[in-house]
């Protein structure tokens, strides 16, 4: 690993693809004088500045908050979702790599996440899954008083912890089957722990699972790569809760 002193010279092998219909290929680039304190995305910014200066097309990649909150910055780095550290790509620093290293950078590998351009994929499938049940129905009017609906502390904390899922898609990219079960389980468990989520509990799980399968995500075989790659450390037991809720819903005829 590099230290915080000195700079690094790197070889980057990056997937380039004009659009979802065009064939893609790996291209090799050299980037020099990289500070170990740079984030991975800042390193890509430097490369794009060099490409712009040379009159070449910059590399397209997603980013927004660059604070590990939004989940936009998903990349496969040397075969790992978000890279060698369990964090988002924007929070990965170049000190995780060595001077002279060759780094392979690809978009998420999943049939349900088609490539838009270069390293950008369309994660609209996640939005469509949420539209099928990731919500609660409430009456309109003024907000209820605080603590009007008592919630046990353990339930509230579990709901809060799994609600930290940012929908980055690392779980799908890391899964050999391309399953979104960890993402879906987090959303179902979050709402299922709260009394406000009970009215749609059965229809939520059946509708979301149906949309998941329709989008082309694979089935879960409990390999566990999803939770190992998750930057928010969503536990694997949300998939058990997903399966339990689905069995109950089907038993209830939903």
Distance (Å) of CA 225 to CA 64, 86, 127, 150: 26, 12, 22, 36
Residue 191 predicted with pLDDT over 80: yes
Other beta carbons less than 10 A from residue 122's beta carbon:
14
pLDDT of residue 126: 98
Is a pLDDT exceeding 90 seen at residue 58? Answer: yes
Summarize pLDDT for 67-81 with one digit per residue, the tens.
Answer: 999 999 999 999 999
Q: What are phi and psi of 27, to 5 degrees?
A: -120, 145
Mean pLDDT in residue range 1-20: 84
Q: Where residue 134 falls among pLDDT bands split at 50, 70, 90? A: very high
As a whole number, mean pLDDT of residues 13-23 equals 94
Of residues 47 and 5, more confidence is placed in: 47
Q: Which residues contact 222 (CB under 8 A, 6 or more apart)?
A: 236, 239
- The per-residue pLDDT for range 136-181, each reduced to its tens digit, is 888 778 877 877 888 999 999 999 999 999 999 999 999 999 999 9
- Evaluate if residue 4 carries a pLDDT over 70: no
Does the pTM surpass 0.95? The reply is no
Angle between helices 201-214 and 124-131 (to 10 degrees): 150
- pLDDT higher than 60, residue 2: no
Q: What is the pLDDT of residues 199-219, one digit of tens each?
A: 999 999 999 999 999 999 999
The predicted pLDDT at position 5 comes to 53
Is the per-residue pLDDT at 242 higher than 50?
yes
> Residue 236 above 80 pLDDT?
yes
């Amino acid at each position: 690993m590099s230290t915080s002193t000195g700079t690094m010279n790197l070889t980057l092998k990056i997937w380039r693809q004009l659009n979802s219909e065009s064939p893609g290929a790996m291209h090799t680039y050299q980037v020099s004088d990289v500070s170990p304190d740079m984030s991975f995305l800042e390193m890509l910014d430097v490369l794009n500045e060099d490409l712009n200066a040379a009159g070449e097309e910059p590399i397209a990649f997603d980013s927004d908050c660059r604070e590990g909150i939004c989940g936009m910055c998903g990349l496969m780095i040397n075969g790992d979702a978000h890279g060698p550290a369990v964090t988002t790509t924007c929070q990965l620093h170049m000190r995780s790599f060595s001077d002279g290293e060759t780094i392979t950078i690809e978009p998420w590998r999943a049939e349900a996440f088609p490539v838009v351009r270069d390293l950008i994929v369309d994660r609209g499938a996640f939005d469509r899954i949420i539209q099928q049940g990731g919500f609660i129905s409430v009456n309109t009017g003024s907000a209820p008083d605080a603590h009007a609906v008592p919630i046990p502390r353990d339930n509230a904390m579990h709901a809060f912890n799994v609600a930290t899922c940012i929908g980055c898609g690392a779980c799908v990219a890391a899964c050999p089957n391309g399953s979104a079960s960890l993402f879906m389980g987090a959303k179902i468990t979050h709402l299922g722990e709260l009394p406000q989520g009970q009215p749609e509990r059965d229809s939520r799980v059946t509708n979301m699972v149906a949309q998941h399968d329709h989008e082309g995500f694979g089935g879960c075989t409990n390999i566990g790569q999803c939770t190992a790659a998750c930057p928010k450390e969503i536990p694997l037991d949300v998939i058990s809760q997903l399966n339990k809720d689905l069995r109950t819903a089907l038993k209830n005829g939903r």
